[in-house]
Amino acid sequence: MKISKVIQDTFLIAWIKSYPDFRRNPLMLLLLAMISSIPLFFMLMFSSGGNVIVHGLIGAMVSSVSFVGVMAGIQDISWDRYVKIREMMVAMPVHPASYALGIALAPLLVSIPSLVFFGALTAYLGFLTLETLVCVVPALIVVWAVMSTMGFMISTYLLKSSTMVLNNLSNLLGIGFIFIPPVYFSEAQLGSLSWVSVIIPTSNVAGLIRSYMGLLPLSVEVVIVRWAVLISTTLAFIILTFIRARWREK
């Protein structure tokens, strides 16, 4: 199958999975932004100045792509099985990569307004420049990829679980990976336990973004290790999913 056909099908599936839902419920954009901005409200209420709000905005940007990534990988896949959409895709000349990428890309497109909003606020405060944007965008894309592939892996290995169980699991994972690790606050506050943030994709990317903005001193070696951990984690999830997943039964 030609690469152009795979790319075309990817964007078509992403449009099918995002645009109709947006037309039926345009307030979903506001809902996604509100989920990411909940910690910002408390930071504004109880912050004592400094760069606390900037840390919160960085967390909001990471949250915007991470939550929808794991949600798409688990909820959308399980829902497609429930309503037999996946069977329709299998019966069509669609490459499995197009289906997976389309499913993951759909919520990312919906989260772009939130990313633009939080990014504009960060730029207004002087921490997001054109130079840092070149590094921030790939970092956000990678964390979206990590969380999406993790969702695909979970939905693949929990194939026989009910849709309700998978939906609740995706919500718990989204909250756990976003609000518990140092995503909205600096990992420096963890002291000797700051290394934990490296093994968690969301806090790892948040730390990289803070480093690019000059909020967290990281050496070049540490930055390389962080990127290596992110890429290795993504590849591991892809391999584990590939081992178990079956697009068409033989």
Q: Where are the domains of the chain?
A: 3-244
Cβ–Cβ < 8 Å for 89, 61: no
Q: What is the pLDDT of residues 195-231, one digit of tens each?
A: 889 999 999 999 999 999 999 899 999 999 999 999 9
pTM: 0.83
Tens-digit pLDDT profile for residues 15-51: 877 777 677 666 666 767 777 777 777 776 666 656 7
User: Comparing C-alpha atoms, which of 71, 65, 63, 69 is closest to residue 39?
Assistant: 63
Burial of 85 (0-12, 13-18, 19+ CB in 10 A): middle
- Is the pLDDT reported for residue 142 higher than 50? yes
- Percentage of residues in the chain with pLDDT exceeding 90? 26
Among 37-41, 73-77, 159-163, the minimum mean pLDDT is found in 73-77
